[in-house]
Structure 1
Amino acid sequence: MLLKSSGIPAMPSIFDDFFRDWSLSNYSDTNTTLPAVNIKENENEFTVEVAVPGMSKDDFKINLNNNVLTISSEKTVENEENNDKYTRKEYSYQSFERSFNLPKNIVESDQISAAYKNGELKITIPKKEEAKPTPPKLIEIQ
């Protein structure tokens, strides 16, 4: 097989691990769409933002196991309406799981934090000091 070079050096992207095909571990049990996820990176951290309106922080479970960050949720809502002539019960069940492979030796896994506000779950994943970019250094010629 002949490979053609684009002239750009092959550099693995940190995001390659984030956007890996997780089709077996990203699912919704209720045939609904998975929540939208934004992943941002700056020089100090990664931020994972998950759009999940109508939920509370107690509806989520976030686990880190062998550099795999898993966000899951299960929520059951029961509505009951009583009238003189009938009783109506409606149940709603929502469930999903999303998994992301975190870059090895780049993140401070013991300092990951999460917050839920205004329908958005925000997970902050700090980078290790040695993984942060350093400013260019001028080397003096002797």
Structure 2
Amino acid sequence: MANEIQRRGNLFDNLMNMRDWMNDDFFSDLTPAADHMKTDVAEDDKAYQVKIDMPGFDKKDIHINYANNILSVTGHRDTFSDESDKKGNILHSERRYGQMSRQYRLPDVDRSKVSAHYENGVLTLDLPKKQASDENDSRIDID
């Protein structure tokens, strides 16, 4: 009885591993930006900080936009040259070219104070939040 349960467990584990492998392989071409623009987003009371891995991009080919509480980051790479094998005997290539884009919902950013820095393939964005002020208060007191 114990061997039968163990065989069923192993079969189940093997089926789940196969399903994961098939999903990874099937969906990998549908979401290239998510695969290649790995992101960390941190938040405190005063700001957001976003770090995005964008190795191989030139700074001039990275475009950042913030509108309607959405941060959009787009990177474009026309081509890349690989002189390592002049005969074209590449067995496997995961490097991509083209356009990659990601969007992040980050409400209440003070657009005038946003800063961006790109170094060693990592784009770092500091996005200060708008400070609450009396003039933006929508509360109406009742007399």
**Same fold? TM cut 0.5:** yes
Query: Corresponding residue for 2:75?
Result: 73
C-alpha separation in 2, matches of 1:80 and 1:27: 24
Instruction: Identify the residue that residue 106 of structure 2 maps to in structure 1.
Output: 102
Kept after mapping to 1: 8 A contact 2:69/2:105:
yes
The answer (yes or no) to whether the contact 2:77–2:98 under 8 Å persists in 1 is yes
Q: What 5-or-longer segments of structure 1 have no aligned partner?
A: 1-25, 132-142
**CA distance 1:87–1:123, change in 2 (3 Å):** same
RMSD of the TM alignment (CA)?
3.0
SS in 1 for 2:112: helix
Partners of 1:27 and 1:58 in 2: how far apart?
23
**TM-aligned CA distance change 1:28 to 1:79, over 3 Å:** same
What runs of 5+ residues in structure 2 fail to find an aligned partner? 1-29, 91-95, 134-143
Greater relative CO, 1 or 2 (CA 8 Å, sep 6+):
1
The 8 Å contact of residues 108 and 126 in structure 1, kept in 2 or not, is answered as yes
TM-score by length of 1: 0.55
Alpha carbons of structure 1 residues 119 and 128: separation in structure 2 relative to 1, 3 Å: same
In structure 2, which of residues 27, 43, 46 is the aligned counterpart of residue 44 of structure 1?
46
Match for residue 97 of structure 2 among 93, 97, 106: 93
Work out the CA distance in 2 between the residues paired with 1:80 and 1:40. 36
Query: For 2:74 and 2:41, how far apart are their aligned partners in 1?
Result: 17
How far residue 60 of structure 1 moved from its aligned partner, in angstroms, is 0.5
Say whether the 8 Å CA contact 1:76–1:93 is kept in structure 2: yes
1:95 alignment partner AA: Q
Q: Tell me, in whole angstroms, the C-alpha distance in 2 between the residues paired with 1:61 and 1:123.
A: 12
Identical pairs, percent: 27
Q: Which has the higher strand share?
A: 1
Equivalent position amino acid for 2:130 in 1:
K
Matching residue of 1:125: 127
Q: Which amino acid aligns with 1:63?
A: N
Q: Segments of 4+ in structure 1 off by > 4 A?
A: none
Structure with the greater alpha carbon radius of gyration:
2
Other-structure match for 1:138: none
SS at 1:33's partner residue?
helix
2:36 is the counterpart of 1:28: no
SS at match of 1:128: coil
Across the two proteins, how many residue pairs are aligned to each other? 97
Q: Which residue of 2 aligns with 1:60?
A: 62
